[in-house]
Amino acid sequence: MSVKERRPPFYLGIDLGGTNVKSGVVDDDGRSLSSVSLETHASRGPEAGVATLAEAGREAVEASGLSWGEIAGVGLGTPGTMDIPAGMLLEPPNLPGWDHFPVRDRLAEVLRARTILQNDANAAAYGEYWAGAGRGVRSLVLFTMGTGIGGGIVEDGRIIEGRNSHGGECGHIIIQMENGRQCGCGGYGHLEAYASATALVKRAIEALEQSDESTALRRHLAAGTLTARSINEASLANDPLAARLMRETAHYLAVGAVCVMHTINPDLVLFGGGMSNAGPEFIDLIREGVKRMAFPLPASHTKIDYATLGGDAGYIGAAGCARMAFGADSGG
């Protein structure tokens, strides 16, 4: 990208995950100018972590060819739980030892740059809204499927953060209140307990235990390669058990989509995370479920699609949040 195409002001986005820190500089149109990934080493604790966040940020600025003076603000996305307005982590399950750590202000001190904090899934949803599959819509809900199911809601251009920074925890709506599966969070009947990548593998193992059916999945289980990806590939190769598991997963996700369509009624429902590589058959199954279960108007008007920014959504969205907080239109 030539310098001419870059549109100032520029923002630095940093996405803190349990395993990696991703960072990049993003221009005023949501285009990424650089992308850096470092290992988090979360167990080394929060002060070492802030040093890593700062290092990832510095490398991203350097890789962009810009100077620090051209960076109008920093956005940091982190996994929950947190107090977004206070810039505090509370008790984040994936960052042991980081409890009640004022991550926003510590990073701002180290980088000497104004910094805002956002939930990582909210940031990803904002990234898709600003620069991804949601460009041009007014509102969207993002479900991100991985170990768990994260979520974020953008409504009329604003993130629904919620009273306790628990807005958009869409993986933890209850879709099966009687005899529901137990969720990773301890609750019962949550969407995540049915439709996350982890839940898909668990349901596959249960199905294998309950039948003698010949299936590629049994070989994957024996070989230690039974994953959401290998189940999807087996489904695409017409393995009957794998196909049934993927159909059921799509149905569960459609139930989740209908629930947000009947509350938020967004323009767009996006599915991101690992499953966003599952291909057109899978998203079509979700769409069919939505058409079958939603009210006629949202069923025909709500777009259902995959997210498009992949692993960059988090830092791009965090940069977008910095733009909201510190940009020309923000009054900041």
Using CA atoms, how far apart are residues 325 and 207, in angstroms rounded to an integer? 49
Nearer to a second copy, 26 or 153 (CB): 153
**Where do contacts with a second copy occur on this chain (CB under 8 A)?**
81, 90, 138-139, 151, 153, 155-156, 158, 160-170, 172-178, 185, 187-188, 251-252, 255, 258-267, 293, 295, 297-298, 301-302
With respect to a second copy, which residue has the nearer C-beta, 216 or 268?
Answer: 268
- Using CB atoms within 10 Å of the CB of residue 45, give its burial: 0 to 12 exposed, 13 to 18 middle, 19+ buried: middle
Residue 14: both structure tokens together: 């940093």
Nearer to a second copy among residue 147 and residue 265 (C-beta)? 265
Q: Nearest-CA neighbor of 79 among 106, 49, 57, 111? A: 49
Query: Considering the complex, what minimum distance in angstroms separates the CB of residue 210 from a second copy?
Result: 17
**CA 27 to CA 11: how far, in whole Å?**
6
- Closest separation in Å from C-beta 77 to a second copy: 18
Tokens for 50? 């802030």
Nearer to a second copy, 48 or 174 (CB): 174
Strands 71-78 and 82-83: unpaired
Q: Rounded CA gap, 4 and 229, in Å?
A: 40
Could you tell me the smallest distance in angstroms from the CB atom of residue 124 to a second copy? 16
Nearest distance, CB of residue 170 and a second copy, angstroms: 6
Minimum Å distance from CB 229 to a second copy? 25
Residue 16 or 82: the one with the smaller Cβ distance to a second copy is: 82
Tell me: cis bond preceding 9? Omega within 30 of 0 counts.
yes
Angle value at C-alpha 92, between 153 and 58, nearest 5 degrees: 80
The H or E element spanning position 25 is strand 20-26
Among 161, 173, 185, smallest CA distance to 258 is for 173
Give the shortest CB-142-to-a second copy separation in angstroms: 12
Nearer to a second copy among residue 104 and residue 251 (C-beta): 251
